[in-house]
Structure 1
Amino acid sequence: MKKSFRRKIIIGFLAMVFLSVFTACLAFFTTRNMQNVFLNTMRQNVASLKAAEELELALVSQKGFLSNYFLDKNSVWLERLEEKRANFSEWLKKATDTAVTPEEKNIINDINHLYARYENDRLNAKKLYESGKTREAKDLLLGDMWEALEILYQKCENYISINESIIKKSEGALTRKIAGMMVLIVIPSIAIIISIGLMFFLLTRKILSSVEDIAVTARNINLKDLSGRVNTDSLEEELDYLAKSINAMLDRLERSFEYVKEFSSSIGHELKTPLAIIKGGSEIALRKERQADEYKKALRVNIEESNRMIQIVEDLVFLAKLDYNPDNIKKERFDAVQFFEDIRERAEMLAAQKGIIFSSSIPENPVFLEGNKLHLSRLFFNLIQNAVKFTPQGGKVDLSVHPQGDAVKIIVSDTGAGIDEKDLPKIFQRFFHKETPGPENVGSVGLGLNIARSIAKFHNGDIQVASKPQEGSVFTVTLPVSRL
């Protein structure tokens, strides 16, 4: 099976599409995964950072409200303090929920313990203050409670720092993920570009190499040597079609040049004799004054030789048409029985002129052939004329038609001089005629049997001969029967 450039291009295109889709899917899923991780991390970090900041704010507010309460004894500060306590507890719960890293969890635990300690000291200070022990309450406020608030504040600051560090780390991780994603996208993209470039480079080189081989073969072909052909063994389907078309064209050119050479050689060989006769006879006639009868005789010879040349040219043109331009010859389907009846009538008249007995055997049932009736008629008359020509007076010529399945055999036999065994392979060659004494050899060109064989081959048939000297000849023509 021949390879095809079209198939290679389609495979390359599908591979390119696959790599492109693969790269796009990889980029899509990587980006989506990175986006989800980034959004989740940022949500957690932002929520944790927000909780830390709010914790710090609530703690600072509590510290201020508590100080104001002990300074001016206004119950409004206690109300605000309770609001900030509730706010602090709420944000402490959110911070506990959003804590992810061990460091965050440890700080949240420390804040919970310290805040519990602070709450215990605050309640004790409040009881002391309400019981009139103002000094002890202030000492507790300025001592343990204040220390607990400072530590809580520092823990909140640490918590904020940790969250900021986590955010920076997340940004770094995001940057690395983006870089990794770019690598995953860029490397396949580069691979696709290189693959496509390599594919088209190899494909182009293959095409140009094949075209160059065809060009070299075509360049080496000239009039002296038309035998060169393009080698199609390793060509792809498209160039194989082109190469076979070129080879077919070269075959036609070679046959045409062979025909021109053969035609020129045949014309030169066969026309040389009649031209020499015309020239010699004319020169002899002009050497001196002659009688009118002598001039007439010379002119008659010239006319006979001219007619012979015309016949040679017409026969050669007809052979050329059969051998090199057969498509212009029309065929038709016809009844061979009626066709051979017409030939029989004409053959009887021809044989009667020489005193030869002509017999025939033609079937009654219709037998259909497909071909050119004029050319087939010429084939069989060539055979019958030869049989009559080489059969002496009183001899016999027979025409018989025998349908045999998908073919019909037409046999023309005679009781004439026959053909030497050594001449049998040559009788269908152009211009072959054996020089023998007697009137039957006069005017023979040697194209009749060659024309007969060409007509038989044109009709997908064949012609065979069997003969022995002094026993006559048997020519058998086989033609295919036309079926509907």
Structure 2
Amino acid sequence: MSDVTEIDVRDLNSVRRAAKKDAGTPDVVLGDDWVQPQGVGDNELAEGRRKRGLYNLRKSPLARKIITFNLIAMILLIAGVLYLNPSRDNLAYQRANGLVNEAELIADVLEARMPATVPVNLMTGDGIDVVETLEQMDLRGGIDVVVFDADGTLVASAVGAADVSSISGLNRNESDTILTDFLASTWNGVANSFRNIFGDWREERGGPDQDAVLSAMNMGTSVQTQNDASGTTFVVITPVMQGDSPVGAVAISSAAGELDALVRREREQVLRLFLVGIFISVGLSLVLASTIANPLADLAAAAELGRDKNARKLSPTQVRIPDLTGRPDEIGRLSGALRGMVQALSERIEGNEQFAADVAHEIKNPLASLRSAVGTMRVATRDDQRERLLEVIEHDVRRLDRLVSDISNASRLDSELVREQEESFDLLKMLGNLNEFLGKEARDKGIEYIADIPEEPITVVGLEGRLAQVFVNLITNAISFCEDGDAIRVWARQRENRVLVVVEDTGPGIPNEALSKVFQRFYSERPEGQFGNNSGLGLAISKQIIEAHGGVIWAENIRPTEADMTSEPLGARFVVGLPV
């Protein structure tokens, strides 16, 4: 004979546990155990996942924000590199320094060919033939060499060869600068529009003027920078000395656009690196967006499926939040929180349904008794019978009034526990006041009342009025079950970070099968003489209040040490544990 799982039809959780225990009976499924075969909600979620790819991320505002901000960061980085990069200044310094060395070297060659004592005239060729000397020099790099006499008059000029490919090991990277040229042409187009309005601020390229030549003869070597349409050009002027007297000057101009070509090639490499970085950034942004936007879209879609779509009927599908708790990030936490919230909401709905069913059941009993008493009164002929029926009606009316009041208090309890502000208070002082008031009631009934409360205060944080309601309920229950000659003991002790408050009595105890049921709503285990005097909500409300304060409450029977569990109990004990 197989074991039969005990089911309390008034407790949905009992039905749930029975369904889980009996795996061979899959007919009873509730809450998260329920699976909708080929449900509409599951189909919609699966269809939404199929439609969400990397390409469809363009429709996600979150994905667009991720990509946009990553691109902005990359653009600002590259713009800062191009703007703050000192390579152009370094190249300009190196090129100008090289031209100074070349100019001074040419001047030294001319000085070496001059006689030491004979007067020299560069214009007439007395003492040195400047043209022949320049022709004999192997000038390179596309430089322009100009020689002036002592009066600043042009004597001779020469142009260096631009081709250096014939020199072994000296090769220049002549790669295309497509990106740089495109940006330069765009910038020039914008700049030209402003030049048409404000005029051209660029200098016209030309050789060194006479004043600059004369100044160099008196002051020494000088460097000038010229900007024109072809780019930046450096002009170096150095004097040609015979002894201590200047007899002329040598001016060297760099090749037009030489420096700008070098800068363009360097910027081209940076821009290509930037372009590769853009593709990588967009790719990684898409991957990142897919790991964030898609799970969030699944969570949002699952939540949207559970809402009322047409405002006229509830959604037929159950909200089933995707399980993403395996992710070690905020999305995993959000998934777990949503699943917990949905589960709590489902349990709350089940609890409300159960509460409504229990209320209807409990109200039907006194109503049936009232209807029976009223119907019987119509045919009752004797006064004692009518008096007895009136007593029954009065008892049922009081029972209904008490039941409705307790139901009203229980239904408002959740909102009041959330709305009321918790405060610190002395738990033992509150218990002392209750013992003083309720102890008198117990002694009037012939019950010995013992209060064992420590002298040191114990401070807890909570709603003093609600916790007082719990202990009043426990003590009055003990009084109602005790008779003349019984005893009640209320004691409290602090255990590390918790305080235990115990209410014991020497009454009839609690049936073993009822120990797990006494905290259920509308459950009442009363003697026959007390039938109808309690709604069965007191202990359920007490349990709800204690758990809202982060505490625990349980019931047990008092038995002698090492006594048989089947023996008669010596009384009942209710234990309340609260955090300190």
Question: What TM-score comes out, normalization by structure 1 length?
Answer: 0.61
* 1: CA distance, partners of 2:354 / 2:415: 13
Alignment partner of 2:364 out of 265, 272, 283: 272
* 2: CA distance, partners of 1:85 / 1:412: 129
SS of the equivalent of 1:425 reads: coil
2:571 maps to 1:473: yes
Q: Report what 2:475 is aligned to.
A: 384
2:292 maps to 1:207: yes
The answer as to whether partners of 1:333 and 1:368 remain within 8 angstroms in 2 is yes
* 1: CA distance, partners of 2:491 / 2:568: 22
**Structural RMSD (CA):** 4.9
How far off is 1:439 after superposition? 0.7
* 2: CA distance, partners of 1:25 / 1:338: 74
Q: Report what 2:215 is aligned to.
A: none
* 2: CA distance, partners of 1:363 / 1:174: 93
The answer as to whether partners of 1:360 and 1:400 remain within 8 angstroms in 2 is yes
How far off is 1:340 after superposition? 3.2
The answer as to whether partners of 1:357 and 1:397 remain within 8 angstroms in 2 is yes
Q: Report what 1:374 is aligned to.
A: 465
The answer as to whether partners of 2:122 and 2:129 remain within 8 angstroms in 1 is no
* 1: CA distance, partners of 2:291 / 2:127: 80
* 1: CA distance, partners of 2:329 / 2:132: 78
Identity %: 19
How far off is 1:462 after superposition? 3.1
* 2: CA distance, partners of 1:42 / 1:344: 107
Q: Report what 1:422 is aligned to.
A: 513
Q: Which amino acid aligns with 1:274?
A: P
The answer as to whether partners of 1:461 and 1:480 remain within 8 angstroms in 2 is yes
Q: Report what 1:413 is aligned to.
A: 504
Q: Report what 2:29 is aligned to.
A: none
More helix by proportion, 1 or 2? 1
Q: Report what 2:132 is aligned to.
A: 92
How far off is 1:220 after superposition? 4.8
Q: 1:165 to 1:382 in 2, by over 3 A?
A: closer
Q: 1:340 to 1:180 in 2, by over 3 A?
A: closer
The answer as to whether partners of 1:387 and 1:413 remain within 8 angstroms in 2 is yes
Q: 1:31 to 1:168 in 2, by over 3 A?
A: farther
2:353 maps to 1:261: yes
How far off is 1:263 after superposition? 1.8
Show CA shifts across 1:266-302 (max 9, x none).
212222212222233334445x586787667555544
Q: Report what 1:74 is aligned to.
A: none
How far off is 1:214 after superposition? 1.1
How far off is 1:480 after superposition? 4.4
Q: Which structure 1 segments of 5+ residues have no match?
A: 49-80, 102-158
Alignment partner of 1:446 out of 536, 544, 553: 536
2:295 maps to 1:216: no
The answer as to whether partners of 1:431 and 1:446 remain within 8 angstroms in 2 is yes
* 2: CA distance, partners of 1:181 / 1:363: 85
The answer as to whether partners of 2:321 and 2:335 remain within 8 angstroms in 1 is no
2:517 maps to 1:458: no
Show CA shifts across 1:196-223 (max 9, x none).
4334433443333122221233245467
* 1: CA distance, partners of 2:578 / 2:418: 19
The answer as to whether partners of 1:419 and 1:467 remain within 8 angstroms in 2 is no
The answer as to whether partners of 1:333 and 1:370 remain within 8 angstroms in 2 is yes
Q: 1:354 to 1:454 in 2, by over 3 A?
A: same
Q: Report what 1:187 is aligned to.
A: 272
* 2: CA distance, partners of 1:408 / 1:345: 21
* 1: CA distance, partners of 2:423 / 2:287: 54
- Map of 1:97-176 to 2, 5 A cutoff? 98-100=137-139, 163=159, 166=162
How far off is 1:416 after superposition? 1.9
* 1: CA distance, partners of 2:336 / 2:579: 33
Q: Report what 2:324 is aligned to.
A: 231
SS of the equivalent of 1:413 reads: strand
SS of the equivalent of 1:358 reads: strand
The answer as to whether partners of 2:509 and 2:557 remain within 8 angstroms in 1 is no
* 1: CA distance, partners of 2:122 / 2:323: 103
The answer as to whether partners of 2:71 and 2:282 remain within 8 angstroms in 1 is no
- Map of 1:299-448 to 2, 5 A cutoff? 300-322=391-413, 326-403=417-494, 406-434=497-525, 438-448=528-538
* 1: CA distance, partners of 2:579 / 2:284: 56
* 1: CA distance, partners of 2:302 / 2:122: 104
* 2: CA distance, partners of 1:316 / 1:82: 122
Show CA shifts across 1:292-321 (max 9, x none).
876675555444334323433433444455
Q: Which amino acid aligns with 1:307?
A: R
* 2: CA distance, partners of 1:164 / 1:340: 109
SS of the equivalent of 1:426 reads: coil
- Map of 1:63-74 to 2, 5 A cutoff? none
SS of the equivalent of 2:490 reads: strand
Q: 1:309 to 1:95 in 2, by over 3 A?
A: farther
Show CA shifts across 1:22-71 (max 9, x none).
56677x636964896699789989x99xxxxxxxxxxxxxxxxxxxxxxx
How far off is 1:255 after superposition? 4.2
The answer as to whether partners of 1:433 and 1:445 remain within 8 angstroms in 2 is yes
The answer as to whether partners of 2:447 and 2:486 remain within 8 angstroms in 1 is yes
The answer as to whether partners of 1:226 and 1:254 remain within 8 angstroms in 2 is no
Q: Which amino acid aligns with 1:378?
A: Q
Q: 1:290 to 1:87 in 2, by over 3 A?
A: farther
Q: 1:406 to 1:196 in 2, by over 3 A?
A: closer
The answer as to whether partners of 1:19 and 1:192 remain within 8 angstroms in 2 is no
The answer as to whether partners of 1:30 and 1:181 remain within 8 angstroms in 2 is no
More strand by proportion, 1 or 2? 2
What is the number of equivalent residue pairs in this alignment? Answer: 387
Q: Report what 1:29 is aligned to.
A: 87
* 2: CA distance, partners of 1:363 / 1:85: 125
Q: Which amino acid aligns with 2:279?
A: I
Q: Report what 1:128 is aligned to.
A: none
* 1: CA distance, partners of 2:543 / 2:515: 14
Q: Which amino acid aligns with 1:454?
A: Q
* 2: CA distance, partners of 1:185 / 1:401: 77
Q: 1:16 to 1:176 in 2, by over 3 A?
A: closer
